[in-house]
Amino acid sequence: MKSAKLTAIIYAVVLSLLLLIPTLTIRFVDHDARKAWENRTLTERPTLAEIRESPKQGFKDFDDYLNDHIGGSFQSIKFRRKFYFDVFNATGDTYIVGKNDGALFLTAPFQQPDRDTPFQWWEKVCEKLQVAGYQRNYLKRVEASKAMLSSRGANVIYSSIPTTPVLNPDQFPRSTPAGYKEACAAVTPENNHIVKMREMDPETNFFYPLRAFQERSKDPFFYPNSAYHWQGESTWVFIEELSKEYNFDLPKTWPRKPCEYQDVPWDIGTLIGVGETTKGCDRDKAQLGIIVEDRFKYPLSAKAIELNPRKTHITVVKMTNPHAENDQSAIIFSNSFGPAVREQYASLFKTTYHLRLGIINTPDMKLLLRESDVLDVDTIIIAIGDFHYPGFLAALE
């Protein structure tokens, strides 16, 4: 009996020591590597004062801190994702799904706090945005921003890029919740939220080339469907359709030859740390001859700098097109989709400015618009993906 008890004690001590190893090694783990690999900020350890002030939130933060920093977790996660990716063409995460043709793409924000609500973007574009009440609220924000942006005489265009849910709903994976396939298939060139808002307000310029994209969507390389931001051939078709719609002349340098199938950067690969490229179809952007430079660095407010001391200004990018067919100027306000296509936009004008609204808060944006000359242009373009409710428009109202 004593021998059995001693064995149990030894076993308990050894097991306890083994369980303590990950926690004891937190200090020696390469957290910067995990931060870069997962493209996110790891949870900071809550202070004792924070735990005392709000015990429930404090212990939750401490639990997240352990999950992010505990020894061995980074290697385990890397192994799991690589195994899923190589064997099942998946990642094991509910917000990144594999299509039936073997590609991967996001269904929700990668850094969303609630991992229990995947397919958030599919729900937005195929269900919420197709409801009349949602469209009316969307239009109110658009009209408010339009009144402000066009106050100096510019023509304002709200451009929206068709994304994968409405292009290939017949290829949804079997893991897709019931109803999304039917809802996304119901979004057609004749029946979608942009068509409905045009009917409500014929004076507002909405651009949404859904028909042109659906006609090409069966080419798996047209819109690299493993990508989060649109890229490749789709960006060129988007601008070609925009030029037709609003009579913008394409420059003589515009690549008109068929695109070349090649490996293109894979932004989801950057997000999840698995893979770096995917097969795509692209044209030579350098052929456009666009000159990209910084126009000015606009200082942020003292409050914004206090919250993030590393960011003291925003950069407004200036692009010059020596091959333009006109002397017009434009500014593009965008979310993160803007950089993927800003040089193609710039090919339509002599001078083009690009500003990402996600990098500046509302008070600073209002100050920028009021006290700078960024609105003294011929055309203002809002550039977003179709699954985004344009929340940043609040800063432009």
pLDDT band per the 50, 70, 90 thresholds, residue 115: low
Predicted pLDDT of residue 26: 58
**Cα–Cα distance for residue pair 119/126, rounded to 1 Å:** 11
Question: What is the arithmetic mean of pLDDT over 90-115?
Answer: 67
φ/ψ of residue 337, rounded to 5: -75, -20
Given a contact cutoff of 8 angstroms between Cβ atoms, the answer to whether 31 and 75 are in contact is: no
- pLDDT tens-digit map of 324-340: 999 999 999 988 778 87
Angle at the Cα of 217 from the Cα atoms of 215 and 221, rounded to 5 degrees:
135
Question: How far apart, in Å, are the Cα atoms of 74 and each of 7, 60, 269, 274?
Answer: 33, 20, 17, 13
Place of tokens 């394409």: 250
User: Cα 338 to the chain's mean position, in Å?
Assistant: 10
- pLDDT tens-digit map of 216-272: 887 777 776 555 566 778 889 999 999 999 999 999 999 988 777 777 766 666 666
pTM for the full predicted model: 0.77
Tokens standing for residue 83: 């195994």
Predicted pLDDT of residue 295: 76
Q: Computed from CA positions of residues 18, 20, 23, 26, in that sequence, does the dihedral angle turn out positive or negative?
A: negative
Question: How far apart, in Å, are the Cα atoms of 131 and each of 93, 126, 134, 136?
Answer: 29, 9, 5, 9
**Cα–Cα distance for residue pair 171/165, rounded to 1 Å:** 9
Predicted pLDDT of residue 370: 75
Predicted pLDDT of residue 126: 93
Strands 351-356, 329-334: pairing is parallel
Tokens standing for residue 157: 């265009």
- pLDDT tens-digit map of 186-214: 999 999 999 999 999 999 999 999 999 99
The mean predicted confidence, pLDDT, of the chain is 80
Nearest to 159 by CA among 120, 92, 93, 209: 209
Angle between helices 132-149 and 193-200 (to 10 degrees): 60
Instruction: Give, as one character, the DSSP assignment of residue 355.
Output: E
* Helix (H) or strand (E) segment spanning residue 2: helix 2-24
Which residues contact residue 50 at a Cβ distance below 8 angstroms, ignoring those fewer than 6 apart?
57, 58, 61
pLDDT band per the 50, 70, 90 thresholds, residue 65: confident
Tokens standing for residue 340: 């993927």
- Given a cut of 60, is residue 19 above it in pLDDT? no
- Given a cut of 90, is residue 89 above it in pLDDT? no
**Cα–Cα distance for residue pair 152/68, rounded to 1 Å:** 49
Question: How far apart, in Å, are the Cα atoms of 322 and each of 200, 285, 325, 357?
Answer: 39, 15, 9, 27
